[in-house]
Amino acid sequence: MMSTSQIQTFETEGGRLAYRDEGAGPLLVLLHGGFVDHRMWDDQIPVFARTHRVIAPDARGHGASSNATRPFRHTDDLAALLRHLDAGPAILVGLSMGGGIAVDTALEHPDVVRALVVSGVGTSEPAFQDPWTTATQSAYWQALGAGDIDTFIDTFSLFIYGPHRTAEDVDPEVDRRLREMTRSTIAKHTGDEPDWSVPVTDTWARAATITVPLLAVNGGSDSADHIGMAERLVRLVPGGRAATVEDTAHYPNMERPDAFDTIVQEFLRALDS
């Protein structure tokens, strides 16, 4: 059950956006992956809140935020929240879908972005080619379309392990937490619900125009597609660089929070030096 004691909300024309707001200092925003929610950052929030004001939102349709009832873009939701808080520009730290939102925001709302940290993603327009990734995605979308939620969660959870590991290689608590968040997100939706999300386009072509500092932090055991897209983004953005958290897959911040946090903290210190 999600704790709401620390959840704040921002009412928009499209519904409620929920977020956690902890600490004080330069603004740092933690953006979660698809099908989960802000709780994937539970290990990071207290650490980064020692030196930064940390905002951890639930994307529309996830966690405690409202489902969409009209066309929307995640980047516009994020920009509206940051302008509502009047506390930018922000360092955006995003994993998977959250990383795509971070890059979108640097392209669409550059005035609210100070720096980018992405993990397991390039832009919001992924290009999947690796057989493991494409087969896994096909299987979980098929299960979701059939309403087989248990199979969907089992298949989606393969991204916790990556293509080269099994469940025995992953902390069961990390597995449990991710499955709980995924089930909670799915429970918010119905099978006949329209997809109101509007994509941001030409992101790869436009990525070279990003001028803020960029760091990609990849799990060493993540899929070749996810690592490759992050590395492609790093090559496109002037001055972009990459780091690896070994013995982790798509959620390095949850599997090895100390290692992930150390890499990001070094990046943050460099921004202020």
Q: What is the CATH number of the domain that holds 15?
A: 3.40.50.1820
- Computed from CA positions of residues 113, 115, 120, 121, in that sequence, does the dihedral angle turn out positive or negative? positive
Residue 177 lies in a domain: no
Rounded to whole angstroms, the Cα distance separating 108 from 193 reads: 27
Residue 203 lies in a domain: yes
- Tell me, what's the pLDDT at 87? 83
Residue 84 lies in a domain: yes
Residue 169 lies in a domain: no
Alpha helical stretches, state H, 158-198: 158-161, 172-187
Residue for token digits 């941001």?
200
Q: What total of structural domains would you count in the chain?
A: 1
User: Could you read off the pLDDT of 63-76 as tens digits, one per residue?
Assistant: 999 999 999 999 99
For residue 219, pLDDT beyond 80: yes
> Which domain covers residue 34, as residue numbers?
7-129+194-272
- Residue 45 banded pLDDT, cuts 50, 70, 90: very high
Residue 215 lies in a domain: yes
Contact 77, 6 (CB under 8 A): no
The two structure tokens encoding residue 136: 């896994």
Neighbouring residues of 255: CB distance < 8 A, sequence distance ≥ 6: 170, 171, 174, 219, 245, 247, 248, 249
For residue 235, pLDDT beyond 70: yes
- Tell me, what's the pLDDT at 152? 94
Q: What percent of the chain has pLDDT over 90?
A: 92
pLDDT average, residue stretch 16-44: 97
Residue 121 lies in a domain: yes
Residue 110 lies in a domain: yes
Residue 20 lies in a domain: yes
